[in-house]
Structures are given as structure tokens and as C-alpha cells.
Amino acid sequence: MRGNASLSWRRQALPLACLLLSWAAAAEEVRIAVVSLADDPRYDSRQLEKRYPGHPEGRPLEGAKVAAAESRFALDAVGATLVLEPVEVRGEAEVAAAVSGLVRRNVRYVVLDLPAPAVALAANTVKPGDALLFNISAADDSLRGAGCAPNLLHTLPSLRMRTDALMQYLAARKWRKALLLYGPLPADREQQTAFLQSAKRFGIGWAAQRPFKLSNDPRERDLSNVNLLTTGVDYDAVVVADSDGEFARSLPYATQLPRPVAGANGLTAQAWHWAWERNGGPQLNRRFSKAAGRPMTSFDWAAWAAVKAVAASVARLPKAGFARQRDALVSGEVVVDGFKGPRLSFRPWDGQLRQPLFLSHPDGVIATAPVEGFLHPKNNLDTLGADAPDSACRMTR
């Protein structure tokens, strides 16, 4: 009897095993490439060692890996698997060929850890129906404005989103008059422009706008003298536009008047902070720290969010195919849990991921933006960055 029972069990188990093997073989493989530059100056070891606020502390690929591991269970449940493919190119001239090659190999999702010019080059290489690109490390407003592309989404907050967040906080604290210090680099001028736009939007006036310059030339010594730069006018706060970060580090507690510093140091606006203690933040920080051996930064979070967005779309529409999954993301239909409170979605008009920002100093989070009291007719998160009527993006998605 036992022999017959064993034989009967085997006969019943065989079809089930075949069914499971067939299901596993038919599981959809979601391939996500992460494209980066081998010698990207943003990740130069000497630059990383300085640990300026708002700058990377390592390659954000680790954030993508953490997101892939987190998404495995949800994708398994719908018969999908996620595969990350790191792709490192030697220079920006190779970006177009690399991205085109990925598309030819049917890689539908491409995460771009590239400077703004290379992001634009990649976006212009791919047709919207062929692949969906995610910008995770270029904050340039031009990529969300006149240089936008229908196949390009952004998980890293734009520069304008960050300056809006800071100006909201200054307005909420009634620090209505600020001193703006700006550097000589083109990126410093872009920050200056963004601060001016944000200040106008939220009613912040300028006591003065003064240029600074770090130089070994004795004739230019006064341009880096904090006492001279912060004297002669009254102000409620000092705002510093310094893309490099070296000058801004010297400002807190060194100004002529006892005033807070915001911008490139002091109070900064970040997509992520290692000290965030709500909405599952500590758990995400622990997972990332264990995987990467360092704290999670805004760039790491942006890479994590891009992979989570793809996984969310596939999990919601597992049999719909790439075109439908893409449309669900770019239209804002699919939302992402960013561990920051509200569900996050992409803005249809410029591809930017709506998200709260952390107003923080190096050791903690002071507040989140949008700051309480700043409202929007449709979504309060759209008080950060260019709103639909103000956007220079005219691309149909």
C-alpha cells in the first residue's frame, strides 16, 4: 500500500512541478541598465573625501542595488524578475553608442548617472517608444525645461526645487531679507538665478548680492574675506550659491552679523538624509549602510527611487507590456513609496518626480518642504520647482 501511495503522490506532483518550471521559464525579465562615466569628476576620491553637504559620497549604483533587492518579493508575486546591468563608459562621447546598444538588446529602462550634457545626449539618442530613461544625478533645471525630452524622467530634485524649499522656510520663519553670496563658476550663477526666482516666488527680498572668489592672487583677497562680504548691510539670513562647496564651508558662525546660513552649507535642501527618522527612513538607511558601507545621500536615494519606480509599474501592470508600463509612469498614474511620507508621482509636464525635501544640516533634519502653509490648487508638492504654467518644457509625452 505504501508503494502505491508513493507512486500516486509522484504522479500528482509531476504535473505541479512541470507547471512551476514552466511558470519560472515564462517569468518576465525586467532589465535595468545603470550607465555611468568611468572617470566622472564628481566621484573623484579627493572630492568625495571633502564630504561637502549636498555632494555625492560615492557611486549611486549601490542605491539601485538596494532597490532591486527590496523589489524582489513584489515582482516574484507577479512572475517577473529584475536584472541590473551596470554599464561604465570611458567618456561622454561614448554615451550615445552605449545607450543605443542597450536599446538594440531590448533593455527598456536605463538609469543615467551622468552629468547634464551627457544626459541630454542620451535622451536625444532614444525614441520615446524604445526605452525610458531616468536621470539620477543631474539637478540642472534646463533638463526639466527647454531641454526636456519625452523619454526622460528625473528622480533627483531639480535645483529650482531645492531653492524653492529653502525660500519657503525663510518665508515661514519671517526671515524676509537675505544677503546673497555667489561664486564665479557657471554652476554658481545657475544657483544664483534659481535663488532669485525662488525669492521672487515666496516674497524674499535681498539686502545685497555680492560675488565671492577663492584665489591665491593677493589683489583678490578681499573677495574671499567673510567679514568684508557680510558687513555693511542688515539681513535676516545669508544665502550662498557655491557649487563647489569650499567657500560655503567657511560661512556658518563666521558672518559679521549673527545670522543663519542657507544654501550650499548651513541649512540645505536634500532629497535624502541619513538622520530621517520617519516613514521607514531608519530601515532604509540601515539597509543602504549595510550594503554600501556609508550613509545614503540624495544621489543614492535617486537611484533607489528610479528602480523602485520601474518595479512599481511592472508590479501593477505585469502583463501590459513596456508601452503601457511606461505610460503609467510618465502620466503619474503609478505612484512610488519614497519613504518620505506622501506617495510620489512623476509630473506629466516635465518628468520630474514630485517629492518632499528635507531641510537639514549635517547632523539632522529640521523640517520638510513643502513647508506647512504653502498650498497648491492640485498638489502641494508642486509648490517646489517649476509648476505646469511656468515650465519651459513643451514636449508631448
- pLDDT tens per residue, range 347-395: 999 999 999 999 999 999 999 999 999 999 999 999 999 999 999 998 7
285 and 149 belong to one structural domain? yes
41 and 143 belong to one structural domain? yes
Range of the domain at 297: 28-157+272-355
pTM for this predicted structure: 0.92
**How do residues 31-72 score in pLDDT, each as one tens digit?**
999 999 999 999 999 999 999 999 999 999 999 999 999 999
| 162 in Cβ contact with 139 (< 8 Å) | yes
| 57 in Cβ contact with 289 (< 8 Å) | no
231 and 288 belong to one structural domain? no
C-alpha neighbours within 13 Å on the C-beta side of residue 42 = 18
73 and 197 belong to one structural domain? no
Question: Which of 228, 244, 269 is the last residue before a domain boundary?
Answer: 269
| 330 in Cβ contact with 397 (< 8 Å) | yes
- Which amino acid appears at position 231 of this protein? T
124 and 191 belong to one structural domain? no
Q: What are the backbone dihedrals phi and psi of residue 241, each rounded to the nearest 5 degrees, phi first? A: -105, 100
Within its chain, how far is the Cα of 214 from the centroid? 29
23: pLDDT strictly greater than 50? no
260: pLDDT strictly greater than 90? yes
Average pLDDT over residues 9-20: 45
Q: How far apart are the C-alpha atoms of 235 and 361, rounded to whole Å?
A: 21
Average pLDDT over residues 115-136: 96
CB atoms within 10 A of CB 106: 11
| Grid coordinates given for 14 | 509531476
Alpha helices in the chain (DSSP H): 2-26, 45-50, 61-77, 95-104, 116-125, 159-172, 186-202, 226-229, 281-292, 298-316, 322-330
- Residue-level pLDDT at 7: 44
Question: Which of 246, 269, 292 is the last residue before a domain boundary?
Answer: 269
- Residue-level pLDDT at 27: 64
Per DSSP, 231 falls in state -
109 and 43 belong to one structural domain? yes
Burial of 86-101, coded b for 16+ CB within 10 Å and e otherwise, reads ebbbeebebbbebbee
Q: Which residue has the cell 509522484?
A: 10
177: pLDDT strictly greater than 60? yes
- Residue-level pLDDT at 394: 81
150 and 290 belong to one structural domain? yes
Asked whether residue 391 is assigned to any structural domain, the reply reads: no
98: pLDDT strictly greater than 60? yes
- Residue-level pLDDT at 42: 97
Per DSSP, 48 falls in state H
25: pLDDT strictly greater than 70? no
Asked whether residue 9 is assigned to any structural domain, the reply reads: no
List the one residue out of 345, 352, 357 whose CA is nearest residue 387.
352
**How do residues 185-235 score in pLDDT, each as one tens digit?**
999 999 999 999 999 999 999 999 999 999 988 889 899 999 999 999 999
| 188 in Cβ contact with 242 (< 8 Å) | yes
Average pLDDT over residues 119-148: 96
Q: Which residues pair with 36 in a beta bridge?
A: 88, 113
- Residue-level pLDDT at 397: 64
Q: How far apart are the C-alpha atoms of 337 and 339, rounded to whole Å?
A: 6
CB atoms within 10 A of CB 85: 15
Total residue count of the chain as it appears in this document: 397
290 and 256 belong to one structural domain? no
Q: Which residues pair with 199 in a beta bridge?
A: none
Positive or negative torsion for Cα 72, 75, 78, 82: negative
1: pLDDT strictly greater than 90? no
202 and 61 belong to one structural domain? no
- Residue-level pLDDT at 58: 97
| Grid coordinates given for 220 | 583678490
Question: Which of 235, 269, 303 is the last residue before a domain boundary?
Answer: 269
